[in-house]
Amino acid sequence: MTFRVHLRVMPRDGLLDPQGQAVEHALTALGFEEAGAVRVGRAIELAVAASSRGEAEAKARQMCDKLLANPVTEDYLLEVEED
């Protein structure tokens, strides 16, 4: 089976996020006062071939730890869904 993996790789909490700051600033300037705490990261989507959802997730985590996220500056969240 193949699964679709949705990844969100976000800057570590406490790390300065200049991009998030700029976007928040811009939203406020556009009158979206209700918006706050903006963080900007990377979204990655990929197909993973695996025999089970669990296996797909495990593989996706390996990919994150090895390549997709920079452990020094980023945290990641992933969702797996059947294709």
Partner 1 sequence: MTGSGIAGAFTETVALPGERPITPEVVREHNLNELEYGRILDLLGRIPTLTELGVFSALWSEHCSYKHSKPVLRTFPISGPLVVQGPGENAGVLRLPEGWAVAFKIESHNHPSAVEPYQGAATGVGGILRDVFTMGARPVALLDSLRFGPLDRPRNRYLFAGAVRGVGDYGNCVGVPTLGGEVNFAPGYTGNPLVNAMCVGLLRERDLIRAAAEGVGNVLLCVGARTGRDGIHGASFASEELSEASESRRPQVQVGDPFTEKLLLEASLELITSGLIVAIQDMGAAGLTSSSAEMAARGGVGVEIDTGLVPTREEGMTSYEILLSESQERMLVVAEPARVSEIQAVCAKWELTATSIGHVTDDGIFRVRHHGQTVVAIPGQRLLEDCPIYHPEAEEGEEARARRSALDLGEPVVDIEGALELLLDHPSIASKRWVYEQYDSTVQAGTVLPPGSDAGVLRVPGTDFGLAVSVDCNSRLVALDPYEGGKAAVAEAARNVACTGAIPLGITNCLNFGNPEKPDVFYQFREAARGIGDACRAFGTPVTGGNVSFYNESPAGAIDPTPTIGMVGLLPRVEDRIASYFDSPRDEVYILGETSGILGGSAYWAEVCDFVGGYPPSVDLESELRFQRFLAAAAEQQLLRSAHDCSEGGLAVALAEAVIGGPYVPGSLGADLDLTGYAPDVPVDGLLYGEDGARAVVSCAPPSSRFLIALANEHGVPVFHAGRVQSAGALELQVGPHVFSWSTEALRRIYFDAIPRRMQHPDVDRAAGE
Partner 2 sequence: MTRVAVVRFPGSNCDFDTLRAAERYGAEAYFVWHRDVDLRGADVVILPGGFSYGDYLRSGAIARFSPVMQAVKQHAAGGGPLLGICNGFQILCEAHLLPGALMRNAGLTFVSKPVDVTVERTDTVFTADYETDSRLRLPVAHGEGRFVAAPDTLRMLESEGRVVLRYVAATERSPFQPNPNGSANHIAGICNAEGNIVGIMPHPERAADRLLGLTGGSGFFTSLMAWHQAPKMGVQSR
Give the residues lining the site for partner 1 (CB under 8 A): 11-18, 21-23, 25-26, 29-30, 66-67, 70, 72-73
* Residue nearer to partner 1 on the CB measure, 12 or 61: 12
Spatial distance between the Cα atoms of 42 and 73, rounded to a whole number of angstroms: 12
* Residue nearer to a copy of itself on the CB measure, 15 or 46: 46
Which structure tokens are listed for 2? 């193949």
Spatial distance between the Cα atoms of 70 and 68, rounded to a whole number of angstroms: 7
The mark string for 17-56 relative to partner 2 (x by CB under 8 A, - otherwise) is -xx--xx--x--xx---------x-x--------------
For 49, what's the count of Cα atoms within 13 Å in the CB-facing half-sphere?
Answer: 0
Q: Which is nearest to 4 in space by CA: 41, 43, 56, 42?
A: 56
Point out which residues bind partner 2 (CB under 8 A). 11, 15-16, 18-19, 22-23, 26, 29-30, 40, 42, 67-68, 70, 72-73
